[in-house]
């Protein structure tokens, strides 16, 4: 069914009244999506009405985010690593998003899927207010974690990511592999921790995420940045890097992102979260 991408004056009044009654913008966006509105349209409409400051997070009181271009963004359009040239397909400045080609070979993608498929567990999420891990109603995929340097393939990928981003391997969390079946999704969220849960002894805050697509998805499964109006279509071997930390310890609320439901086939993706400092 075609998704709705326009609102009537009455519907706008309903949004304003519902906001006045204390409902959160996320709850209203979720209600709109349930009613058949396009997800990106729903978030952009809410943002137009309430401004950038109102999406719920523990960082509500932060001063406006100061953008700094991470080193990965200063390397030109072909980024050489010791075993592979990674090509920049497109870039967005605010939030900082880099769409990358040729990060993994097809063989590496297939091998990563093979190594993870018998270890998948229902995914958990981090509560944006408490920072606790909890069962994920908004995250219906299954996932698993490799430990750092667990095998030759993971070691090679981690080295490549370190050379690509200029962050040492030890700043990276263990590589996560996620599998989404038809209808499965990861609802809009931030990858950074609530400030109360940042542990400076263990790498500090998350500052960037690299999502690597391990297969082609026939329909759905896109990674969407609804505040930025950016949609990344999963394509085997490509990746998206987004950066949301800065040297002032701020986090970028524009980095809100989601994996929309898979409509056909399945989706495999590997996630590398990068911290401010060494974790280990
Ligand atoms: O699988 C994705 O596209 C996706 C989207 C949003 C993964 C994550 N977040 C994540 O692993 O944090
Ligand atoms: Zn995420």
Cross-strand partners of 280 = none
Are 160 and 84 in contact, with CB atoms under 8 Å apart? yes
Average pLDDT, the chain: 89
As to burial, measured by CB atoms within 10 angstroms (0-12 exposed, 13-18 middle, 19+ buried), residue 52 is: exposed
Residue closest by Cα to atom 2 of ligand 1: 259
Residue closest via CA to ligand 1's atom 4 equals: 259
Q: Which of 144, 257, 274 to mutate to test the pocket of ligand 1 (most atoms within 8 A of CB)?
A: 257
Give the model's pLDDT for residue 112.
98
The C-alpha atoms of residue 122 and residue 271 are separated, in whole angstroms, by 16
CB 223 within 8 A of CB 239: no
To the nearest whole percent, how much of the chain has pLDDT over 70? 85
Ligand 1 neighbours (beta carbon < 6 A): 178, 186, 191, 209, 211, 223, 257-259, 269, 271
Which atom of ligand 1 approaches the CA of 222 most closely?
3
Between CA 144 and CA 132 the distance in angstroms is: 18
Q: Which residue among 113, 145, 177, 211 has the greatest number of ligand 1 atoms within 8 angstroms of its CB, and so is best to mutate?
A: 211
Q: How far does the centroid of ligand 1 lie from the alpha carbon of residue 64, in Å?
A: 25
Taking the CA of residue 209 as centre, how many other CA atoms within 13 Å lie in the half-sphere pointing to its CB? Answer: 23
> What is the DSSP code string of the chain?
-PPB----HHHHHHHHHHHHTT--HHHHHHHHHHTTB-HHHHHHHHHHHH-TT-S--TTTTPPPPPP---GGGGS-SEEE-SS-EEEEEEEETTTEEEEEE-SS-HHHHHHHHHHHGGG-EE-EEE-TTT--EEE-TTB--EEEEPPTT-SHHHHHHHHHHHHHH---GGGBPPPEEEEE-BT--EEEE-SSPPGGG--GGGT-SEEEEEEEE-S--SEE--EEETTTTEEE---TT-EEEEE-B-TTS-B-GGG-EEEPPEEES-EEEEEEEEESS---
Tokens found for residue 269? 């993706």
Instruction: Please identify, by atom number, the ligand 1 atom nearest to the C-alpha of residue 178.
Output: 1
Ligand 2 mean position to 17 CA, how many Å? 31
Taking Cα atoms as reference points, which of 210, 198, 108, 111 lies closest to residue 166?
A: 210
Residue 68 · residue 247 · CB < 8 Å: yes
Cβ-Cβ contacts under 8 Å for 212 (sequence gap 6 or more):
103, 104, 109, 157, 237, 238, 239, 269, 270, 271, 272
Q: How confident is the model at residue 259 (pLDDT cuts 50, 70, 90)?
A: very high
Question: 56: pLDDT confidence band, cut at 50, 70 and 90?
Answer: very low
Q: Domains of the chain by range and CATH? A: 9-61 (no CATH), 71-275 (2.60.120.620)
Note the pLDDT of residue 187: 93
What does the pLDDT look like over 154-205, one tens digit per residue?
A: 999 999 999 999 999 999 999 999 999 999 999 999 999 998 889 999 999 9
Q: What is the pLDDT of residue 4?
A: 86
How far is the centre of ligand 1, averaged over its atoms, from the C-alpha of 190 (Å)?
10
Tell me the range of 17-21, 32-36, 92-96 where mean pLDDT is highest: 92-96
pLDDT, residue 58, reads 44
Q: For residue 9, how far is its CA from the centre of ligand 2 (angstroms)?
A: 34
Angstrom CA distances, 91 to 48, 241, 245, stand at 23, 10, 17
Least-confidence region, from 2-6, 68-72, 170-174, 263-267:
2-6
């Amino acid at each position: 069914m075609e998704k709705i991408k326009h609102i009537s004056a009455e519907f706008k009044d309903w949004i304003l009244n519902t906001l006045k009654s204390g409902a959160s913008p996320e709850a209203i966006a979720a209600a709109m999506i349930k009613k058949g509105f396009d997800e990106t349209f729903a978030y952009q409409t809410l943002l137009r009405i309430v401004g950038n400051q109102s999406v719920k997070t523990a960082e509500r009181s932060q001063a406006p985010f100061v953008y700094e271009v991470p080193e990965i963004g200063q390397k030109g359009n072909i980024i050489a690593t010791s075993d592979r040239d990674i090509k920049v397909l497109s870039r967005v400045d605010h939030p900082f998003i880099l769409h990358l080609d040729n990060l993994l070979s097809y063989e590496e993608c297939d091998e990563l899927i093979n190594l993870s498929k018998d270890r998948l567990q229902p995914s958990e999420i981090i509560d944006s207010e408490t920072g606790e891990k909890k069962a994920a109603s908004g995250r219906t995929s299954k996932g698993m974690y490799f430990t750092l340097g667990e095998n030759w393939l993971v070691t090679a990928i981690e080295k490549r990511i370190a050379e690509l981003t200029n962050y040492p391997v030890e700043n990276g969390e263990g590589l996560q592999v996620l599998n989404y079946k038809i209808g499965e999704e990861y609802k809009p969220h931030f990858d950074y921790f609530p400030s109360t849960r940042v542990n400076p002894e263990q790498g500090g805050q998350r500052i960037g995420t690299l999502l690597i697509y391990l297969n082609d998805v026939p329909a759905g499964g896109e990674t969407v940045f609804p505040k930025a109006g950016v949609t990344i279509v999963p394509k085997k071997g490509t990746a998206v890097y987004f950066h949301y930390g800065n040297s002032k310890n701020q986090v970028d609320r524009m980095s809100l992102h989601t994996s929309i439901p898979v409509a056909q086939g399945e989706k495999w993706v590997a996630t590398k979260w990068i911290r401010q400092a060494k974790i280990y």
